[in-house]
Amino acid sequence: MKSKSKFDGKRKYEVEENLTSITDIIGKRNLLVCGGCSEGSVAHAAKFQPRKTDVYILTAPKTGTTWLQQICHQLRTGGHMEFEDVYQVSPWAELAWDLGMDLEAEHVANPRVFKTHQRLSAINTGAKYIVTMRDPEKTVISWFKFLQEKGHSAVKTHSSPSEIVFDKNVFAENMLFGASIWEYYLEFWKCRNLPNVLIVVFEDLQKSIRSQLPRIAEFMGVECTSDLLDKVETLSTASCMMAHEEKFDETWTFAQLQKVGRAAPEDVAGFTPASRVTKGHTEPLNTKAKKFLNEINIAGKSDILDAKENGKALGGCGNENAHGDWPGTKEDAGAWPDTAEEAGAPGTEGNK
């Protein structure tokens, strides 16, 4: 059934019964026990029924998760920094029970905002979903650095990001949360035109946070003003977030997991405080790793193009201008472009 959008002066994003759903397009998986979240905590998250207005920030690791948590929280509050840990105001859904948090609880402002690294096909249905896409090379470099700072066992046998590119359990086939980067992206792409899915390109945020804020706010159902945009832009800069690093490095999370005592000690160790806000990582991939990653990129983008060519990707939901188009041929699907606009990547057309 072809989807239709409803308009009342401006686009509405509420999930309607007559719209094709995420499950219709990419099927339904179970939540995966992963990421240091206990089986009990994941089970509690699986039972949670979100509201239509709730927002999940659903991402592959190191593609802008914490940044978007800050952006979304500041948009809905107009500038609120009175929290110890971003998870207190934007809970990691599958970790909430381990932290002694109630997913049903009200947040400091509406809409409620949650974080997850689960696949889009696995997450609880019925809410809104902000998903991200980032250059895979930049992602794997950032991912290695993050895991290294955490002392994660997954990288103890690797000395550089060039090595984990080949590791099937850390990046090539699974980023520790049940999907490779392109499996995340393919699901996002297939659902790109649903009114309750918004793709944000990491490189677009880097280029201009300000240009992305209105579309994120509209998707969330938050009214934008110039004063609000000014405030959110300032509070979401890397320099501001680094000045408040303790709010984003899981210091509180680490202590709270120990206090509540529901998570296994080895899982708690995975939340050893480490910076989630950085100025970027400069160590490039070596030639061999770049070649292998480029092959992964070509295969991943080809899957997306196959979905488009076979009519599996949904169209006609009024999102076309917001989500642009992917490179037109498989020959164009090699390395990530210098900018998201050059790729016609989802989320760029609406910025022009």
The pLDDT assigned to 278 comes to: 64
* 163 pLDDT more than 60: yes
- The domains located in the chain, with CATH, are 7-284 (3.40.50.300)
DSSP lists the bridge partners of residue 200 as: 132
- Proportion of the chain above pLDDT 70, given as a percent: 80
Residue 122 pLDDT class (50, 70, 90 cuts): very high
In this structure, of 116-130, 173-187, 226-240, 263-277, the range with the lowest mean pLDDT score is: 263-277
In this structure, of 129-143, 193-207, 266-280, 282-296, the range with the lowest mean pLDDT score is: 266-280
Query: What digits encode the pLDDT tens for the residues 100-110?
Result: 999 999 999 99
- C-alpha dist (Å) from residue 19 to 30, 130, 281, 315, 317: 22, 18, 42, 12, 9
H-helix or E-strand spanning residue 89: helix 86-89
* 3 pLDDT more than 80: no
Task: Tell me the three state secondary structure of residue 157.
Answer: coil
Residue 329 CB burial class (10 angstroms; 0-12, 13-18, ≥19): exposed
Count other C-beta atoms under 10 Å from residue 94's C-beta: 30
- C-alpha dist (Å) from residue 144 to 153, 162, 255: 12, 9, 24
Instruction: Pick the more confident residue, 323 or 174.
Output: 174
- Strands annotated E in 117-229: 128-133, 197-201
Query: What digits encode the pLDDT tens for the residues 38-84?
Result: 999 999 999 999 999 999 999 999 999 999 999 999 999 999 999 99
* 332 pLDDT more than 60: no
The pLDDT assigned to 128 comes to: 99
Instruction: Pick the more confident residue, 294 or 303.
Output: 294
* 340 pLDDT more than 80: no
Q: Which two tokens stand for residue 235?
A: 């509070």
* 346 pLDDT more than 80: no
User: Using omega within 30 degrees of 0 as the cis cutoff, is the peptide bond preceding 50 cis?
Assistant: no
Residue 159 pLDDT class (50, 70, 90 cuts): very high
Task: Tell me the three state secondary structure of residue 224.
Answer: coil
Phi/psi of residue 313, each to 5°?
Answer: -85, 130
- Do 160 and 168 touch, CB atoms closer than 8 A? no
Task: Tell me the three state secondary structure of residue 114.
Answer: strand
Average pLDDT, the chain: 85
In this structure, of 5-9, 23-27, 42-46, 52-56, the range with the lowest mean pLDDT score is: 5-9
Whether the CA torsion 96, 98, 99, 101 is positive or negative: it is positive
- Do 336 and 304 touch, CB atoms closer than 8 A? no
Query: What digits encode the pLDDT tens for the residues 165-187?
Result: 999 999 999 999 999 999 999 99
Distance CA 129, CA 195 (A): 10
Residue 280 pLDDT class (50, 70, 90 cuts): low
The pLDDT assigned to 310 comes to: 57
- Proportion of the chain above pLDDT 90, given as a percent: 73
- Do 170 and 288 touch, CB atoms closer than 8 A? no
Please name the residue that has the structure tokens 């994941």. 42
Q: Which two tokens stand for residue 104?
A: 């049903």
H-helix or E-strand spanning residue 80: none
Span between the terminal Cα atoms of the chain, in Å: 31
Residue 309 pLDDT class (50, 70, 90 cuts): low
